[in-house]
Amino acid sequence: MAGDGAASRGHGATKARFGTQRLAYQSLIHSDRDRSGAVAAWQPLSQTDVRGFVFHPEIAAESKRTARATDEEQQLLGIVVEHSIARSAMGTWTLKGGWVSASELPDPAGPGAQTAATSAWSLGTNATTLMERLRLSFEYAGSEPDRGSPETTGGTQAQAYRLGAELHPTPSSGEGWHIGSEYSWVGQRFDSVANSDLRPDRQRLRGYGGLDVGDLRFRLSVRRDRNNLALDPAKPTRQADQFQTTTTWQPANTRRVNVFGEPRIRLDAVLGHDQIQAVTAPGPRTERSEKLQLGADFRTAGGRWGATATHDQAPGKIDANTGAGIRGFGVELHHQQTAHPFLPVRKDLQWQRREDLATTTTEQRWQARLRSSNVSLHERMNGEFDLRYRERVTSPGNGREASVNLAGQLVWTMQTPAATRNGLAIALSADYPGASSQTSANRPGDGYQVMLTLSTSNPLAGW
């Protein structure tokens, strides 16, 4: 749960925050997500930003620890430096460097357990040139294993890089088109440390483009992923191709169609084709996936509302011995009330039906959600809350599972930020993800989390 807006700071200014927050740093070695810890930011020059951080998942008080991603089970220590260079003839260049060290938490199975530690670094640049027509990006990263590990650095296999280019017209031309491509390569020994979504031994090539014609917007994306780059016969090989199109209709003149509000209609189509070569199989196996989604959104004076319908088919299984695929259909209704003077809330209702193509077993999922952000409770007191109810029913067998989740946050601004000073605020957040009628490995059961945040700026703001 986060809000918008950040306190401004001038040359030489610093600010710090302790609590659950995001670092605003996305790279090959770090995925930007909510983490518990401390961040200190310093601006030694007008175009230079320095941020140091320490993240530890046990800073928050928890009971019955909930499931977390791999990189959220580590202690993180690092620094990020960013410097911008503006030249009218050359364009704008941004240089960014980062270093992250990660240590696994001690094994709770017994005392004296050894913990592994790794570190990684990243250097990157973003540039805008050719009268703001061309955007270029490049990032180069490497990782080092634990000092006590028998593995070596692995040379180039412990490195990764990513480069991209995008061409579009100048902002003043009024033309609506763009075309670009991106390529990334990750070595088999590269450890992304704080980015568990990035897998080693992978390469990706992606091309995309867009065109605006009147009230219509067309987007196209083609992607190919491949692993086992060394073609090791002892490892399985997967090549995944994906084709995606998006068409959006949003009329500029809504007088003739403004019955329920200003409309926006969007149609998404995704086709996937995976070719898998197992180690023991005589030939490759093919898996196909498809997704078709139609959404309508209407904006009114008091807020916005809409509906989305989705049909998809993807590899997987519910209760079959071998996965023949899962076919699904779902509907989502939402309404966001933004003009309410006291309680702006968003209401969501979702329903999904999934069917195992091998056994015809069906699974239905319901979710109802009520949430708000930045509710003014007092002159210096703000809050937000999030209430969710989930239910899953499987047939035949009539298996049923239901859960309730309640989260909220109160923020007391003791000193408002100004041009010559930072603000001072304290926030109390709580999360109750339990009340589950059934527990499993992925749903440990009832629990809660409480966090107290002290910030020299708004704790709901980003960096």
Which of 372, 380, 359 is CA-nearest to residue 423?
A: 380
- pLDDT at position 347 over 70: yes
Distance between first and last Cα of the chain: 15
Domain spans of the chain, in order of start: 14-105+116-326+406-455
- Poorest-pLDDT segment among 227-236, 237-246, 254-263: 254-263
Q: Which residues lie closer than 8 Å to 194 by C-beta, 6 or more apart?
A: 29, 30, 31, 71, 74, 76, 78, 100, 102, 120
**Using one digit for the tens of pLDDT, what is the confidence trace for 365-424?**
999 999 987 788 888 888 888 999 999 998 876 678 888 888 888 888 887 776 666 677
Span 312-320, average pLDDT: 90
- pLDDT at position 436 over 60: no
d(CA 3, CA 375): 11
CA separation (Å) from 53 to 73, 94, 95? 16, 21, 19
d(CA 210, CA 169): 12
**Using one digit for the tens of pLDDT, what is the confidence trace for 256-310?**
556 678 899 999 999 999 999 888 877 888 999 999 999 999 998 888 999 999 9
Q: How many residues does the chain have?
A: 463
**Using one digit for the tens of pLDDT, what is the confidence trace for 89-121?**
667 899 999 999 988 766 555 554 445 678 999
Which of 325, 319, 395, 403 is CA-nearest to residue 369?
A: 403
Q: What is the gyration radius of the CA atoms in the chain, in angstroms?
A: 25
422 versus 243: the higher-pLDDT residue is 243
% the chain with pLDDT above 70: 79
Cis peptide before 396 (omega within 30 of 0): yes
Q: Which residues lie closer than 8 Å to 431 by C-beta, 6 or more apart?
A: 405, 406, 407, 448, 449, 450
pLDDT value at residue 379: 82
Span 442-460, average pLDDT: 61
- The CATH number assigned to the domain with range 14-105+116-326+406-455 reads 2.40.160
Span 124-151, average pLDDT: 84
pLDDT value at residue 419: 65
Q: Using pLDDT thresholds of 50, 70 and 90, give the confidence band for residue 135.
A: very high
pLDDT value at residue 421: 64
pLDDT value at residue 69: 43
- pLDDT at position 439 over 50: no
- Poorest-pLDDT segment among 61-70, 172-181, 376-385: 61-70
CA separation (Å) from 394 to 74, 366, 434? 36, 12, 21
Q: Using pLDDT thresholds of 50, 70 and 90, give the confidence band for residue 211.
A: very high
Q: At CA 261, angle to CA 259 and CA 265, rounded to 5?
A: 100
- pLDDT at position 124 over 80: yes
- pLDDT at position 37 over 60: yes
CB hemisphere CA count around 82 (13 angstroms): 15
- Poorest-pLDDT segment among 16-20, 180-184, 280-284, 446-450: 446-450
Contact 78, 52 (CB under 8 A): yes
- pLDDT at position 357 over 60: yes
pLDDT value at residue 122: 96
pLDDT value at residue 329: 98
d(CA 183, CA 204): 6
Which residue bears the tokens 């989930």?
A: 390
CB hemisphere CA count around 273 (13 angstroms): 7
d(CA 9, CA 6): 9
Q: Using pLDDT thresholds of 50, 70 and 90, give the confidence band for residue 254.
A: low
Span 171-194, average pLDDT: 91
Span 42-69, average pLDDT: 69
Q: At CA 384, angle to CA 379 and CA 388, rounded to 5?
A: 160
pLDDT value at residue 444: 45
Which of 203, 157, 206 is CA-nearest to residue 180?
A: 206
Span 238-250, average pLDDT: 96
